[in-house]
Chain A
Amino acid sequence: MALPALDFPASPIVGQLYPDPPVTGQPTYKWDGAQWLAYRASGVPGLTVPAAPFDALAYNGMQVNGSMEVSQENGSTAVSFVGGSFTKYIVDGFYVKNSSTAAFTAQQSASVFYGYNSELKLTITTALAVSGAEDIVIYGMIEGYRFVRARWGTSNAVPVTVGFWVRSSVAGVLFLQIANEDISHAANATVTIAAANTSQWVTATFPAYTTGVWNPTNGTGARLRIFPASWNGINVAATVGNTFEITGVVVLPGIEAPTAAQSSLIMRPYDQELVTCQRYYTKTEATARFYAAAAGHNVENEIYWQVKMRAAPTLSRVAGLQANISSVVATQPTISGARFNVASAAAGDCYSIQEIISADARL
């Protein structure tokens, strides 16, 4: 049987399929912004793309903690954003920046999306009548070692496809951006939230970006920026009580995105995602107990991180129990560990036990 002649559209848009709908026996192609690439080997109508290739692809998704399951610092505690410029990590891998007079809370929350445990949720507490340039932005931070496979900033750059679940009190155009470390270069895209307060799987393909400096090592490789309130799209902060919820974020090299049905099936499991997140932020326990002959006697231990960190981290003491201690400090951090030093306040039993030390090497 002779195949139908190919007659590609003259002015395709990124992500457009041809032929659409599929034609039996004929491959399907997808426009990546520069060329038509084979998308589906057999265009049998009704035949969905097998999950297996997406499993392999998505397991190497460049995003970190796209399912919003890992929240080592805040747990599910809401973080309050008041009017003014304020930036704070909410879950691992994702921080929120408020540059407006709006106030809201942001937190990891039980997911309203089928197939996911967790989501990132914003709830507006003080409204913003008119949105400005970049009022509320969600950042998904991607290290250079992860994003380098997209080869952005070179002539070999490939498109990048983003997908996520979203549920917003405000329907309309949602502005997206992938920017480099200093945001001097950025690729833009939009998705349309079709209906308010309705769970929706959205995808967008960013054309290959061949210019600019995109950190290929342990710096910020790319910032995925999602704009719940901006002049380029919706203003979810328009009314008190509005919410904006997302989860299932995937950032994939190429022009393919999983379907809504596939999306929750291809996310990395929690245990694997936790290990990935610990490269950027971790908490570890340290203990020292000894009998001091006098004040000022020291005991020092080395503490180790669960995985090698991205950079020498910032150290903070989160909690712990002490007695007869004049000082307890964690110092000299490296990508492998740090020194933990305890000094006695007087002679006798002294201890600093179950000290929780946070190590922060986030982007």
Chain B
Amino acid sequence: MADYQLTATEEPCAVIRTSDGAFIPPDMANRDYNGDTFSPGYVQWVEGGGVADPYVEPETPPPTPTSEQTLLFEHENRLLALEGQPPITVGDFIQKTAK
């Protein structure tokens, strides 16, 4: 794990300092972003050869079914059970019906 992690796919962007989770904006007047020889910041770290961890897209939460979808989902699984098929998940059902 690097000392910093990007918060976007392209720089300049805010970075997260991994040691304490601080959120550092890309402001050249911010000493954590652009420090000096006495108190180096992210810019000095990169100039010294540091490479930040890439931005990681946050996980997309599973879709939330509506009341109607819940009813149809339960009905679908009852039919599948009668047919001897394994049940499907809510997410799969919503994706299937959205097509």
Residues of chain A touching chain B, judged by Cβ–Cβ distance below 8 Å, are 87, 97, 181-183, 218-219, 293-297, 310-317, 327, 329-334, 360-363
Interface of B is mostly: loop
CB <8 Å contact, A317 and B21? yes
Beyond A296-B62, A331-B7, A333-B23, 16 additional pairs, beta carbon < 8 A: A87-B38, A183-B38, A294-B62, A295-B61, A296-B60, A297-B64, A311-B27, A311-B30, A312-B25, A312-B29, A313-B25, A314-B25, A315-B24, A317-B21, A331-B14, A332-B14
Interface of A is mostly: loop
Which residue among A218, A312, A314, A316 has the maximum number of chain B CB atoms within 10 Å of its CB? A314
Complex A-B, nearest 9 residue pairs according to Cβ-Cβ distance, in ascending order: A296-B61, A311-B29, A312-B27, A294-B64, A312-B25, A315-B23, A314-B32, A316-B22, A314-B24
A216, B39: Cα distance in complex, Å: 21
B74 within 8 A of A: no
A88 CB to nearest chain B CB (Å): 10
A238, B38: Cα distance in complex, Å: 24
A313, B31: Cα distance in complex, Å: 9
Q: Which residue of chain B has its CB nearest to the CB of A363? A: B31
Which residue among B21, B30, B36, B64 has the maximum number of chain A CB atoms within 10 Å of its CB? B30
CB <8 Å contact, A294 and B61? yes
B9 within 8 A of A: no
A219, B25: Cα distance in complex, Å: 16
B95 CB to nearest chain A CB (Å): 16
Give the contacting residue for A332; candidates B25, B36, B62; CB below 8 A. Answer: B25
- Given A295-B61, A311-B27, A182–B21 Cβ distance below 8 Å? no
